[in-house]
A and B are shown apart, each in its own frame.
Chain A
Amino acid sequence: MIQFLTSLWSYTFMRNALWAGILVSIACGIIGTLVVLNRIVFISGGIAHAAYGGVGIAYYLGMDPVLGAVGFSLLSSLAMGLVHRKEGQRADTIIGVMWAIGMAIGIIFLSLSPGYKADLMSYLFGSILAVSTMDLWLMAGIALLSLAFTLLFYRQLLALSFDQTFVTVRNVPVGPLYLSMITLIGLTVVIAMRVVGLIMVIALLTIPPAIANLYLKDMRAIMALSAVLSVLFCTLGLIISYVLNLPSGAVIILVAGLAYVLAALIRSLLLRRQIPEEGISVIG
């Protein structure tokens, strides 16, 4: 077993993949928790799909598709963030439209681009094994940025996620904070896309915090556990996919999904055992 793992570590692409899993997991654990607690899962999905437009245009122009994805996801996250702040719950239609337009632009520009496009599938379904050193630096930068932002504004972010009206009345600069958060979501989506693809980004962002939230009731702790869980899912998924020769992104998400089902089952069993005890303590 140990021999097997060291042999994995000897491949550069495997080392890069494992590092990518760790760095993306740090960003996803922190930002995913904010996404879940702010109930903006839909926006993160929208950003991921709209970013495909950037991939298509960059490809057409012969640029690095990652650059296109970053540009488009920043643009779409700001647009969606502004719409969401202005329209509240009614924003989901407009966000859905932006989601679709981005995707359509991507598909059209890709069909216009000449030549071989095999690695474009990697943006849809992820390609953690094709991560370059350049990608790793981008991932490290975004992970660090997420960590610094959350450490600095933890109290404000917690309050903002819980009760935006009250925070506004306290004259905390809600607009800038919220838009910074959405921008970070956009950046995190781009790096998570390299790992699991844009279609499954939502899962990598939301499953770990959802599991952590089943057992923990503190935002800081949920962020930390989410990051740890995410590292676990990425590493385990990567190894399984390597051994069984399956697509890595899909295996990672499947591992995460199964873990969620298991965690939810265990919790409901624990609760069932607790209820009679609580009943007695209330009466006594």
Chain B
Amino acid sequence: MEVNPQEPVITLEHVWASYEADSVLEDVNFTLYRGDFVGLIGPNGGGKTTLIKVILGLVKPRKGRVSVMGQPPEVGRRVIGYVPQLQIYDKDFPIRVWDVVSMGRLKPGFSRLRMNDQDKLKVEDALRQMDILDLRKRTINELSGGQRQRMYIARALAVEPQILLLDEPTASVDPQATSHIYQLLRELNTHVAILLISHDVMAISSYVKTIGCVNRRLIYHGAKEITSEILGSVYGCPVDLIAHGVPHRVLAEHDQTPEERQ
């Protein structure tokens, strides 16, 4: 199969959207390409959740156009493996790892209600890829934060996705598990496009290929460093940056051109 890393998989053109009053998007333009591993940072309430909901077709933009694989998001989203933010109350739900990951094999409509053998193989593959095959019979309250997060990524992989969309993948995960998760994501990036959204600059800046910022408006140039433009034009992000004590290496130096950085 020919795979062109320059093929756009998600496109947002002049998107304006609002969801629950305080998180709003203004004139957002963004393209995710097949080979991308993009991290978007932004403060809480800066529209991160809205952006995800717009891409998944759960929130309709007021203005502008969204497409996933050249189709409307309600259709295109079937190739998206979505990894939601960990919810505390999920832990009490009586469900086993196998059943959670099996959700990735749910079919649209009422066409096929049960899993067939191939579905089961895909679930097994996804569990193996995330190193949690031996945990498949555990209930989710018996998992650590890192294991739970890997379970959700496995569920997204069971979809056989072309795009992975992750919301705060390492919030409430300890640093060691975090680096493990990002290593796994990096391996996956060889055949899926990855877009992740987080308020934690520290966690993502050293792992993703390119970084951007969303705070009502979206600033993204396909570069690795957090440029002074991002810092300057997005109010709120600098506050977060200082709070997390970002090392200098993620900041662009003045005498460097983008080419030199590659």
Contacts and interface: CB of A to CB of B under 8 A. Distances in A.
A164 to B, nearest CB: 10
A171 B79 CA distance: 11
Given A155-B113, A162-B100, A219 B94 contact: yes
Nearest to A33: B94
B37 interface: no
A48 interface: no
Given A159-B103, A170-B107, 10 more contacts: A153-B113, A155-B115, A158-B95, A163-B103, A165-B56, A166-B103, A166-B155, A169-B56, A171-B78, A216-B94
Contact of A169 (B77, B94, B95, B102): B77
A187 to B, nearest CB: 21
B106 A155 contact: yes
Interface string A208-241: 0000010011110010000000000000000000
A217 B141 contact: yes
A165 B106 contact: no
Contacts of A218: 94-96, 139
A185 to B, nearest CB: 19
The list of the 8 closest CB pairs from A to B, nearest first, reads A171-B108, A217-B139, A217-B94, A170-B106, A159-B103, A172-B106, A169-B56, A169-B82
Interface size class of A (residues with CB under 8 A): 20 to 34
B99 A158 contact: yes
Given A155-B113, A156-B113, A169 B93 contact: no
B51 to A, nearest CB: 15
6 contacts: A37-B94, A155-B114, A156-B113, A162-B93, A163-B103, A165-B82
Given A155-B114, A217-B141, A170 B103 contact: yes
A163 B104 CA distance: 11
A129 B100 CA distance: 44
Contacts of B103: 159, 162-163, 166-167, 170
Interface of B: 56-58, 74, 77-78, 80, 82, 84, 90, 93-96, 99-100, 102-104, 106-110, 113-115, 139, 141, 155, 159
Nearest to B156: A166
A167 B106 CA distance: 8
A174 to B, nearest CB: 11
A41 to B, nearest CB: 14
Interface of A: 37, 152-153, 155-156, 158-159, 161-163, 165-173, 213, 216-219, 222
A53 B58 CA distance: 36
A157 to B, nearest CB: 11
Contacts of B58: 165, 168-169
Nearest to B78: A171
Given A216-B94, A217-B94, A152 B113 contact: yes
Contacts of A170: 78, 103-104, 106-108, 159
B94 A155 contact: no
A1 B185 CA distance: 67
Contacts of B84: 163, 165-166
B102 A222 contact: no
